[in-house]
Structure 1
């Protein structure tokens, strides 16, 4: 299994809307991709921003490619609706092999 980890940042006033976007749009769409095995959204307030770490779990790199595309499976996938809620975000995700479930 592979954990795909990506980070974004927003202002506190947009944090709830971004979580709602992930809950209502992103995670339901991910669940329809073969090989997606779930995920977590972590948050922490850091002064004037709220940081998000989104960790999704995948059975293989091929499954990640079904989500992120064949050209660059580590490229961030941030649709315009999500971009509008974020102050900044990482252009790339990081992939980790899961050693223990």
Structure 2
């Protein structure tokens, strides 16, 4: 399994507009591509005061899915509508091989 991690930043004034682009255009567009073995994206949002950081995390069953999505080299896939409201973004995504994980985290009774 491969995880693709990407970040983009907006001004606070553009943060909600970017989130709308993500939820109404980008995520449905990814789903419409129906790439086998793709899950996500999970969208993370963090207010940094003078800017807002967004991170997206997607999982792929294998390298073929990664390449089908955005190329094996990891170039950013950023539609024009997103570029209009982002102040900057990672030109390349980071790809990680999942080495270990759990489906659920349990806490011992305290």
Q: How does 1:2-81 map to 2 (within 5 A)?
A: 2-31=2-31, 32-69=34-71, 72=73, 74-81=74-81
Q: TM-score, normalised to structure 1's length?
A: 0.89
Q: TM-score, normalised to structure 2's length?
A: 0.82
| CA deviation after TM superposition for structure 1 residue 34, in Å | 2.1
Rounded to whole Å, the distance in 2 between the matches of 1:66 and 1:88 is: 24
| CA deviation after TM superposition for structure 1 residue 33, in Å | 2.1
Root-mean-square deviation (CA, aligned residues, Å) is 1.3
Is the 1:36–1:63 Cα contact (8 Å) retained in structure 2?
yes
Is the 1:30–1:36 Cα contact (8 Å) retained in structure 2?
no
Rounded to whole Å, the distance in 1 between the matches of 2:40 and 2:24 is: 14
Structure with higher Rg: it is 2
More strand by share: 1
Counterpart check, 1:90 vs 2:87:
no
Equivalenced residue count is: 99
